[in-house]
Amino acid sequence: MSLITNQKDLKSLCTRLKKAEFITVDTEFIRERTYWSRLCLIQVAGPDDAVAIDPLAEDIDLSPLYDIFLDKKVLKVFHACRQDLEIFFKEMNGKLPAPIFDTQVAAMVCGFGEQVGYEALVGALLKKQLDKSSRFTDWAQRPLTSKQLKYALGDVTHLRHIYEKLNAKIEKHKRGAWIKEEHKKLIDKENFITRPEEAWERIKIPTHKPRALGILREVAAWRENLAQSADVPRGRILKDDALAEIALHAPTSQAALGKMRGIQQGFADSDKGGQLVAAVKRGLDTPEKDLPKREPRPHFPPGLGPTIDLLRVLLKLKAEENQVASKLLASAADLELIAAYGKDAEVPAMSGWQFKVFGKEALDLRDGKLALAIEDNKLKLVKSD
């Protein structure tokens, strides 16, 4: 079983990989006790062999591998790569592997359903079963067992054949432009930039009052910065509901902070408690014009429900006709916006390949230019007079 733990072997591997048309990539990591994912293993398969690289090995420098990740001549194939890309974005100092091919996205484009799992693809395309008993193992533990390595390398080995089969389907059905658009969205760096001042947007709070939101913005940014610098999960510092309560009640002293629910004993009197109160005061002192706003859920006019239902039926019809996952065409929220705003709806279905497959006819149905009818027990579209 091949495990690379030294620089000489890594350079030799990368020399071979440079000549490959494509390589398959997977990672193993842990994150339960940290803010940042801790990269524990990188698996790579080229034309001839599959190997695992130990990033925890002493004095190993992954630069030769990352150079290949940036090489435009070598396609990097992943499955469900969002977390992998997040790890590499940090490891590669704000750069991302490119070009990439995500077999989960490709499977959705080819009609294998919503967010199909790797194990399901192996079964459907390769008629094999995977041994997933090592899935929840401790990947930071050393030495790694032969069973762990066999599991890890199996992912990138099968991935080569899955890529070849999916790519053939995409070429056969002329969907290269579709997959290119979806991959472009995946490697948008905005997906992986964490801005502490935007952390408040993920926290639920039962008010839209700008002042409370201003306090929430400050305390959430304080927690985010602390979590990043200490490399601990956000919840280890304070839970979301505690931050929401603080934003609503705005304690301006450590004594007041100590009386609030969700604040553990001793926290309020600590340095962190003082920093948190200072963040509350910054929120209170923010000028009115600079306070954030959270837009309420759009209020749709009465009677829109039947239109949304018709669009939902059309979505299912077009997804089945084109053998593509409906999620790639439109979400339930997207259908509401299309029903309410038509071509002005800011949703993926109003542009790109989604518009050609679904969006154009969705607008025609909404505007009365198309109708749904049943003929020979099959649903079809009929142009309205």
C-beta of residue 313 within 8 angstroms of C-beta of residue 379: yes
If asked whether residues 49 and 174 sit together in one domain, one would say yes
- % pLDDT > 70, the chain: 99
Which pLDDT tens digit goes with each residue over 28-48? 999 999 999 999 999 999 988
If asked whether residues 58 and 147 sit together in one domain, one would say yes
**For the whole model, what pTM was predicted?**
0.90
Strand partners, 42: 27, 53
If asked whether residues 232 and 93 sit together in one domain, one would say no
Say if 276 falls within a structural domain: yes
pLDDT of residue 377: 87
Count of the separate structural domains present in the chain: 3
pLDDT of residue 83: 96
If asked whether residues 286 and 316 sit together in one domain, one would say no
Q: What φ, ψ does residue 30 adopt, rounded to 5°? A: -130, 150
The last residue of a domain, from among 163, 191, 219: 191
Give the CATH number, domain containing residue 95.
Answer: 3.30.420.10
If asked whether residues 22 and 158 sit together in one domain, one would say yes
Say if 244 falls within a structural domain: yes
C-beta of residue 242 within 8 angstroms of C-beta of residue 262: yes
- Whether residue 129 is predicted with pLDDT greater than 90 in this model: the reply is no
Locate 105 and state its tokens.
Answer: 């996205």
pLDDT of residue 36: 96
Over residues 218-235, mean pLDDT: 97
Which pLDDT tens digit goes with each residue over 45-78? 998 889 999 999 998 999 999 999 999 999 999 9
C-beta of residue 53 within 8 angstroms of C-beta of residue 42: yes
C-alpha dist (Å) from residue 222 to 241, 250, 333, 377: 15, 15, 32, 60
If pLDDT is split at 50, 70 and 90, which confidence band does 196 have? very high
Which pLDDT tens digit goes with each residue over 95-118? 999 999 999 999 999 999 888 899
pLDDT of residue 385: 66
Give the CATH number, domain containing residue 371.
Answer: 1.10.150
**Which residues form the domain of 138?**
3-191
If asked whether residues 153 and 187 sit together in one domain, one would say yes
The last residue of a domain, from among 259, 290, 321: 290
Which pLDDT tens digit goes with each residue over 230-278? 999 999 999 999 999 999 999 999 999 999 988 988 999 999 999 999 9
Say if 126 falls within a structural domain: yes
For the chain, give the mean pLDDT: 94
